[in-house]
Structure 1
Amino acid sequence: MENTVAQRIEALSKVQQIDSELDAIRKLRGDLPEEVQDLEDEIVRFETRIDNLNADLGSTEANIEQLKGKIQDFKKRITYLEEQQMNVRNNREFDAINKEMEMLDLDIQVAQKKIRDNEADGKVKRDKIVNTKEALEERRKDLQAKKAELDEIMAESEVDEQKLLKQRDKATKHLDDRLLRSYNKIRENSSNGLAVVSVKRGACGGCFATVPPQRQADIREKKKLIVCEHCGRVLTEVEVIEEVEAAPKRRSTRGRKATAKKK
């Protein structure tokens, strides 16, 4: 059976009441959930950075070993050429072997320079890994402390929160999906989390814009959903504020004059 407009308005008001209570509970947590999330994200970034540095360091060390291997090959070739130089038949062969040995000696010098550069680069990367690991350990300690603080707060309010969530699920069953989506969207765009408000002193309880008398009458009838023309919040009721006359009644001036004559 489809709910009447009045029932849907009542359900909306109930959901808003529950959400406001949930907001109050979650407000007690302050920025802790965001701080915990930020620390977790930062830890992931540090871990990724360490992995990347280790991978780069591995490549650097592999380059060093490769260069050392080349130097050994160059030296072996030089030793071989020195032996061949003893058996040359003419100056042309001697000069050719000598030229190749000079080139190999230059190749060795270039490889040794590259090794020194790679070793310096490796030292920088090792220092970065050490520093990043120290920062990572500090963040893990901070995360542990923040989580403990958050868990303590959540433990205190968990029972109440779960109870309210069950009540919310029950209340939302009286709302169709489209209306519930609209309600949630208004709440997301609202700074105070209010999507359903009442009319107070002739004004919207959310944005305080004036609500015309005819719209107030429509709100009281509850025959259709009325929203604020300025902020889009749902207006569910019109609060009546009785004005009490605070000033005491003044005594009659005539009475005071009559008293004065008798005296």
Structure 2
Amino acid sequence: MATIKELSVEDKLRALYALQLVDSKIDEIRNVRGELPLEVEDLEDEVAGLSTRLEKLKSDLETIDEQIKVKKNAIDEHKAAIKKYLEQQKNVRNNREFNSLTKEVEFQELEIQLAEKHIKEMKASIEHKKEVVAQTKEKLDGKQTHLKHKKAELSDIMAETEKEENFLTAKSEEFRGQIEERLIAAYDRIRNSVRNGLAVVSIERGASAGSFFTIPPQTQMEIASRKKIITDEHSGRILVDGLLADEEKEKMDKLFASI
């Protein structure tokens, strides 16, 4: 890893504030997208889930169809057996044989009734599943259309901002490379802990930007001297003086305008 050139405190403050301006610009670009990437991801998950469900329902219908065929074949076999037993009854030698064959016929008839009951139930299940298939397909079609529109919307936004974001991300990495890891770690920790992502702020009217807490004059003088890194005791943010902030903003505005 390349050794970071030792910067003066002022240079560190400038690099940190410039990094903040670049990262805030990246935040703005990403805020334009808002929840759109997450919406697209959620819709993709929904479409995948509905597609899987639809395939499962179609598979279930095929399975039930096969089961009905098996039951119908079994009914044909039971009917053939009944026909055979009735023929055999014509040639029996005693009542015992006749009664035995009668019981076989009754058993086959019960099997037919049971198979017909199962077929009726399975046909009802098919009708229900067909309704669910139609509803699922309709829902899937709607989600796919919505996903298509959202993807197009996201693609348009990405096309508009991709070049700018890539440039700014590279610039952010460039500034990070100028700052020691300890400061970068502090910067990231503060940035991740505040809602607006501001880890480095300037002094405005005697208070840190966005804060109502006044900074003592002595501390303001220390900040303006740029001799050490000073943080706001209330928010933990790194503080820079207004003049330095204005100078860095001017530089960054020119940079942003050149993209």
TM > 0.5 fold call: yes
TM-score by length of 1: 0.78
Work out whether 1:136 is the aligned partner of 2:140.
yes
1:29-178 matched pairs, under 5 angstroms:
29-177=33-181
Q: Which protein is richer in helix relative to its size?
A: 2
Cα RMSD between the aligned structures?
2.5
Correspondence for 1:225:
229
> Displacement, 1:88?
2.2
Alignment partners' CA distance in 1, 2:241 and 2:158: 36
- Taking CA–CA contacts closer than 8 Å with sequence separation of 6 or more, which of the two structures ends up with the larger relative contact order? 2
Letter in 1 for 2:103: K
Q: Which runs of 5+ in 2 are unaligned?
A: 244-259
Change in Cα spacing, 1:194 to 1:83, as seen in structure 2 (3 Å) is same
Letter in 2 for 1:141: T
Correspondence for 1:255:
none
SS of match in other structure, 2:33: coil
> Displacement, 1:116?
1.2
TM-score by length of 2: 0.79
Alignment partners' CA distance in 2, 1:97 and 1:176: 98
Q: Which runs of 5+ in 1 are unaligned?
A: 241-263
Correspondence for 1:250:
none
Alignment partners' CA distance in 1, 2:136 and 2:109: 40
Q: Residues 78-137 of structure 1: CA distance to partner in whole angstroms, max 9, x if unpaired?
A: 222222222322212211221121122111111111111111111221222222222222
Change in Cα spacing, 1:104 to 1:163, as seen in structure 2 (3 Å) is same
Letter in 2 for 1:54: K
Change in Cα spacing, 1:76 to 1:26, as seen in structure 2 (3 Å) is same
SS of match in other structure, 1:122: helix
Alignment partners' CA distance in 1, 2:35 and 2:15: 31
